[in-house]
Amino acid sequence: MNYLKLIYLSVFCGIISILSFFNIIYSYYFNLYLNLNTYVYTFLVSFFLTILFYFIKSNDEKKTTIYEKIITILFGYFFLPLIISIPFYFSIYNLTFTNSYFESISGFTSTGFTIFENIKHIDQSLILWRSSSQWLGGLYFLFSIILLIDIFDNSFKKSLTNFISFNKAETLKQSFKIFLLYSVITFLIFVILNLLNIRTFNSLNLAMTIISSGGFLPTNSLSNILLDNTQIIFFSLLMLSSFFSIFLSYNLIFVKNRNLNFFNEDIHLVFYFLVLLAIFFIFFNFDNNFVELFLSLTSSVSNIGFSLNTNSPNLSFLFLILVIVGGSFFSTSSGIRFLKIYSLLKFSINEILSYSRPKYIYVNKYLFSKDFFELNEIYKYFLSIIIFIFSLLFLSSLLTISGIDFETSFKLSILTLMNTVNSSMYGIDEFSFYNLQFYTKYCLILFMIIGRIELLTLLIISKKFLFKN
């Protein structure tokens, strides 16, 4: 193994050991002894691996290639859920390895598909473990973006350098910044949910779910937690923390000498969200249920997927489109990302107009920025969309062959690739993952991981192995 992979695995195995130790303390404090031994196993395994990976690290200081970085990220997505699956597999619920691994992958990729059909039958410690897996997966995703910074466009790199230095000597310092900010936002969400008179246990689980753009609930239905309009509105606003950049709050408070160019992406997202808000309020507020629509809107754009049971199924396709678009580059949400689609659309329109009006000059730059987007960036955006379309068609075909009807297969494929939970607003909330065939579950596992990584990485890996010299 190379140096990078060992350090990466050591850090996240260490975090798993901390989370499992927290579950041990929680179980002892609340006398939850049914699955206590499973967290002890997880702690011992993860702690041992943390020490092992740290002390067998290589002394090779050779520069790590982008291919090695991508393989490191992919390996982590397959390996770390194996450790996370230990409490599921050794629990009292007699889960098979496939079901345990499916649940842990779903949590780690912040998707939210679950093999548990009744959450009330699960003890609190295991519910907390499910939420912890999402929180860890969201942090892993943010670290992965930093590791794969080389494949992103220049405008994205510029926005990140406002907060992060990519000097190799400061890697630990920069990683700690992300960890600290991620933890602080999680704690603030937890405090706000408590102030809304939401049960402390539910607040803790929901805080870890919201910050990671996850889909696990601590109960069978969100309507069992959110009991009035005030709670629904504030909960909806909190979900936007997965829509905007995780650095937005930091930049607003601590960074001096700010200008519009500094918040380029977030300003675009604000206008995008306000336009959506106006459209939903004017055209889709049929039954004066705008509060429920607002929750579904914020949940879809942030790729969380939560909804109340009062949504109109006629809007499911529109919500799926919002899921595909996604939010900010440096957030825990998935999706193709709004700025990519905006740039590609503007470039295409300018190209068409340049042929119809050749005397005019059309500038390809962002609306609230002095930065121009270059042709190679447009190619990257276009390739990402092409890869998404092929992945969507391929997964839909596999699910249809396995016996799932085409409409459900298509919707489920979108949610899988966009790491968004199936809920009533997409019309497949009753879908059972427990009864799926063996190979169907592993297809979903593979594509949940594919959806979580930058789609362009697939093309880079393909180029590496298909076009060797």
Give the pLDDT of residue 310.
62
| Separation between Cα atoms, residue 452 and residue 334, nearest integer Å | 7
The pLDDT score that the predictor gives to residue 469 is: 46
> b/e map of 81-96 (b: 16 or more CB within 10 Å)?
bebbbbbbbbbebebe
How many Å apart are CA 123 and CA 437, to the nearest integer?
27
> Looking at residue 283, what is its pLDDT?
86
Q: Which amino acid is at 27?
A: S
In this predicted structure, what is the pLDDT of residue 67? Answer: 79
Is residue 210 a contact partner of residue 188, using CB atoms and an 8 Å limit?
no
- 26 vs 86: CA distance, rounded Å: 18
Instruction: Provide CB contacts within 8 A for 310, sequence distance 6+.
Output: 289, 292
Q: What is d(CA 216, CA 106) in angstroms, rounded to the nearest whole number? A: 9
| Predicted pLDDT at 340 | 85
| Dihedral Cα 355, 360, 362, 368, nearest 10 deg | -150
> Under 8 Å CB-to-CB from 41, ≥6 apart: which residues?
86, 87, 90
User: In terms of DSSP H, where are the helices of 30-65?
Assistant: 36-55
Q: How far is CA 34 from CA 46, 106, 115, 200, 226, in A?
A: 21, 23, 20, 22, 29
pTM attached to this predicted model:
0.91
User: For residue 73, which of 452, 445, 336, 335 has the smallest C-alpha distance?
Assistant: 452
Q: What is the pLDDT along the chain (469 residues), one digit of tens a residue?
A: 466 677 888 999 999 999 999 999 999 999 988 899 999 999 999 999 999 988 875 555 566 677 778 888 889 999 999 999 999 999 999 999 999 999 999 999 999 999 998 898 899 999 999 999 999 999 999 888 877 766 665 555 555 555 555 555 555 666 777 888 899 999 999 999 999 999 999 999 999 999 999 999 999 999 999 999 999 999 999 999 999 988 777 676 656 555 555 677 888 899 999 999 999 988 887 776 789 899 999 999 999 999 987 656 678 899 999 999 998 888 899 888 888 888 888 888 877 877 777 666 666 666 666 666 777 778 878 888 888 999 999 999 999 999 999 999 999 999 999 999 999 889 888 899 998 999 999 999 999 999 988 665 766 666 555 555 4
What pLDDT, on the 0 to 100 scale, is given for residue 259? 58
